[in-house]
Amino acid sequence: VDSWACNIHTEEKRKFVELLQAIAASRDVRVTFVGGDVHIGGAGRLFSTNSTDALRDPYHMTQIVSSAIVNGPPPGAVVKALHKSAKTYALNDFTSEEMTEIFNQDVTGEELEHKMLLNRRNWCEVRELSGIELEFTIRVENPDHVGTKKYPILVHRLEVSEREP
C-alpha cells in the first residue's frame, strides 16, 4: 500500500481496500498488509472513522513496512520529512488511515524523537500466538551489524458478534 501514496493510484488504492473491507466484513477475517522495499521500518493502519473498538472493526487493517536487510536506509532528512507529513488521512467517507508509533527507542537505547519510521536496516518475522493473534516483529540491525533489536506489533483476530441465521 505504501507505493499507493501518490495521487495517480488513489482511486485504485481506494477500490482495492474497499474490496478487502467487504471480504473482511462478510467472512469475519482480519486483513493485514506486509509491504516494503522503502528501506525503512514502520507500521500504519486503516480503520473505521467512527469505530472505537479495533478488535471488532472489520475495517481495521494493519500495514507492516519492512525491507530486505541488505538494503541501506534513506538519509535521516527523508525520514524526518515523512514524519512531518504524517497525519490521519480519509481514504473514503468511512475509513481513515495513519502511521503508528512503534519505535520509542533506537537500537542503541537512545530515546527517539520520531517514533513512526526507523531508517535502519531491518526485516520482519511473523509468528502466530495462541491462534488468536499474529505477532509481526520488525527486527532492526544493531549498529555493529551483529544481532537485531525487536519491535513487536500484535495483530488480533477479528472478534465477531453472533449473527442471526
Tens-place pLDDT, residues 102-151: 999 999 999 999 999 999 999 999 999 988 899 999 999 999 989 999 99
Helix (H) or strand (E) holding 155: strand 148-156
Q: Strand 133-141's sheet: what is its strand order?
A: 122-129, 133-141, 148-156
Q: Could you give the C-alpha distances from 89 to 26, 44, 46, 94, 152, in angstroms and in order?
A: 25, 11, 9, 11, 24
Residues 6+ apart with CB under 8 A from 11: none
User: pTM for the full model?
Assistant: 0.87
pLDDT higher than 90, residue 37? no
Residues 6+ apart with CB under 8 A from 78: 119
* pLDDT at res. 57: 95
Q: Are 53 and 127 in contact (CB under 8 A)?
A: no
* pLDDT at res. 1: 40
What three-state secondary structure class fits 22? helix
pLDDT higher than 60, residue 160? yes
